[in-house]
Structure 1
Amino acid sequence: MEIKELGHLVLYVRNLERSAAFYRDVLGWPQVFPDPADPEGLLGFPAAGFSSGRTHHELLLIEVGEDAAELPRGRRVGLYHFGLKVGDSDDELRAALERISQAGVRIAGASDHTVTHSLYIYDPDGNEIELYVDMPGVDWRNNPALIAAPIRPLRL
């Protein structure tokens, strides 16, 4: 067996409407299902799918209700964050920063990873998301050590 690519990510969310609006309206990720007028139409339970067009869906949100347990803080087993590529230049990352700042999104930090420049944010349920741009001219394929380069602060 050989993994060809990461296909999709599924997140439990407290409030589907709030989370779908965040991913769709704030981050600009196209929602592919359901029809907003029929939130339980396709799957029979409250869920929403999103795709950049690369595949049928890259993110699926499943509503579990407002009383769902909080994510534990600190070192724990499980998802740390997931990355969403928003472009190939700092100008595109600055535009993303402006958009999320205007929307009042909580920002966790920013890092220069040599191969990428990254902003770290939280979704409405506290899931951490890395918004990143690949840095032009960084040849990590021929120099894989660049992937593990020391992390530096990023100022946009």
Structure 2
Amino acid sequence: MSEHPQARPIKGVHHTAFRCRDAAQTIWFYRDVLGLVDPTGVVLEEVTGTGENDPYMHVFFQMKNGEYIAFFDAPGSADPDWFARKESFDMHYAFEVASEEDLLAMQARIQSFGVTALGPVDHHDFVRSIYMYDPNGIQIELTYRLPDHDKVLGAAAATFDQLLADWQARTREEKVAKFGAEAIDRRARRPAQV
């Protein structure tokens, strides 16, 4: 018998949250440019859970599948450097559209607001995407699934354990030099017993 309680199924994503420079500017981009529904939100004076005094607005945009993308407008604790454009590998958010026609229509819409939307870019025969940056330096991807999407990812899943093992062997030395063996070998630690 495992020492860990049985995992319960995770239903999906409720929200993904990011810091924003300004709520009104962020609402313009996500509501007006991308066409998400009118946001909702709350203003709180303290950080929930810590009680730290840091007034903030928490803004939520709901998508058609019920999931949200959310933002924190907390100028008191904001670091201006955080809003520099992030590299795609560091952070990006990918929204899904239904078809190539929708992707191209959205690209034209986005560009009509003066926002650059690069692409479309093909990704290994499973998705095609366009890319832009939001006002907070976050790369935004709009993507749609190509006909072989499930086949490509299914084939990758069948060999993923070996692919991971090979990748770990190939990159371990570089990672140890950069991050240290302790950081690479460490697994999440259990919290101290209360």
| TM-score normalised by structure 1 residue count | 0.72
User: Which amino acid in the other structure matches residue 59 of structure 2?
Assistant: A
What is the percent sequence identity of the aligned residues? 27
| Residue in structure 1 matched with residue 25 of structure 2 by the alignment | 18
Q: Which blocks of at least 5 consecutive residues in structure 2 are unaligned? A: 1-6, 45-55, 158-194
1:138 to 1:28, Cα distance in 2 relative to 1, 3 A: same
| TM-score normalised by structure 2 residue count | 0.59
Q: How many residues align?
A: 136
Identify the structure with bigger relative contact order (alpha carbons < 8 Å, sequence gap 6+): 1
Cα distance per residue 1:94-144 (max 9 Å; x no partner): 101101111111335542011111011100111011101112354427843
Cα distance per residue 1:33-60 (max 9 Å; x no partner): 14xxxxxxx34332211111423x5111
Could you say what the CA RMSD is over the residues aligned between the two structures, in angstroms? 2.9
- Supply the distance in 2 between the matched residues of 1:24 and 1:84 (Cα, whole angstroms): 14
Task: Answer with 1 or 2: which has the greater Rg.
Answer: 2
| Residue in structure 2 matched with residue 7 of structure 1 by the alignment | 14
Say whether residues 1:46 and 2:57 are aligned partners.
Answer: yes
- Supply the distance in 2 between the matched residues of 1:53 and 1:74 (Cα, whole angstroms): 27
Structure 1 window deviating more from structure 2 (113-122 vs 133-142): it is 133-142
Equivalent in 86, 93, 110 of residue 103 of structure 2: 93
- Aligned pairs for 1:107-126 (under 5 A) are 107=117, 109-113=119-123, 114-126=125-137
- Supply the distance in 1 between the matched residues of 2:69 and 2:37 (Cα, whole angstroms): 10
Runs (4+) off by over 4 Å:
72-76
| Residue in structure 2 matched with residue 39 of structure 1 by the alignment | none
Structure having the higher helix fraction is: 2
